[in-house]
Amino acid sequence: MRVVAVRRTVMAATAVSFALLATACGGGDGGAEKGGATSGKPAAKAYTAAELEKRVIAQGDVDGHTVKKPGKQDVSDPAGLSVGKAECEPVAQALSALATGKPAASVQRLVVHESAAAKKGMPTMEELAEMTEKETEEAMIDSLDITKTRTSLWSYDADGAAQAMAALREAGKKCAGGFTMTIDGEKQQVTKVSEEKLSAGEEAVAWTVGTKQGDATGDTKVVVLRQGSTLAGFSSFNIAAVSRGEAFPQPTAVIKAQAAKLG
């Protein structure tokens, strides 16, 4: 789901919450080392889309998680992305689960993890009738304790993957203070790009990206790692955390499982 879609979901959830309240009260290894094209070794060759399909995370790879192909509402259009500061485009691309540079092939999956509270769903109308306004609000938010991670694989020829990683790392530093961006016609403000520590693949970048659209604010966990000539990107959010304004962890189980499949 796009960040824009997250905001819509939260606002829709809030509307539902008010309705409930009213009733109760009366969602190849790529083979290259960094700089392989200039290391004296043969230039790295990208995986094909078919080869990436064998290496992308699949159902059963992560306990307690559902893995599926994303729907249209979960995929952003590269042509629909514009950024206020050109140097910040790589961050905006990773946030939107879009590739930096020009990969030869790519695949994407949507990975979903529901908390125990979310699996229970909303209380029944009878239960809601016995709840206070605060208890009903908490129950509504608990039902949205779902972490969704758009997981992407992008494979590049020659040193394209290493160049993309360098661009991402530089953009993260230059754009730490934020920037404006528009994705699929929806404008939003990136308020921060905070670096996080992560050891994965041959190299990796990890950020908490804060965004604001109207009165809706929230954080997205963004990670990109490189293994040979392939990048794995992760853009993750939790609706309940967005609603509460709370922090949530990186999807480490998903990252670990995907890194393992890349070798």
Q: Is residue 64 part of a domain?
A: yes
Q: Is residue 137 part of a domain?
A: no
Structural domains of the chain, count: 1
Q: Is residue 50 part of a domain?
A: yes
Structure-block tokens of residue 37: 């094209």
Task: Count CA within 13 A, CB hemisphere, residue 135.
Answer: 9
Instruction: Convert the pLDDT of each residue in 7-39 to its tens digit.
Output: 444 444 443 333 333 333 333 343 333 333 444
Q: How far apart are CA 4 and CA 145, in angstroms?
A: 18
pLDDT band at 209 (very low <50, low <70, confident <90, very high): very high
DSSP string, 21-53: HHHHT------PPTTGGGTTSPPP-PPPHHHHH
Question: 70 is in which domain, residue-wise?
Answer: 28-115+146-262
| Model pLDDT, residue 162 | 97
CATH of the domain at 236: 3.40.1000.70
Given a cut of 90, whether residue 251 has pLDDT beyond it is yes
Weakest mean pLDDT among 22-31, 62-71, 215-224: 22-31
Q: Is residue 136 part of a domain?
A: no
Q: Is residue 8 part of a domain?
A: no
Q: Is residue 12 part of a domain?
A: no
Q: How far apart are CA 30 and CA 227, in angstroms?
A: 7
Q: Is residue 140 part of a domain?
A: no
| Model pLDDT, residue 139 | 79
| Model pLDDT, residue 41 | 61
Q: How far apart are CA 124 and CA 131, in angstroms?
A: 11
pTM of the model: 0.80
Q: Is residue 244 part of a domain?
A: yes
CB contact burial 119-156 (16+ within 10 A = b; e otherwise): eeebbeeeebeebeeeebbbbbbbbbbbbbbbbbbbbb
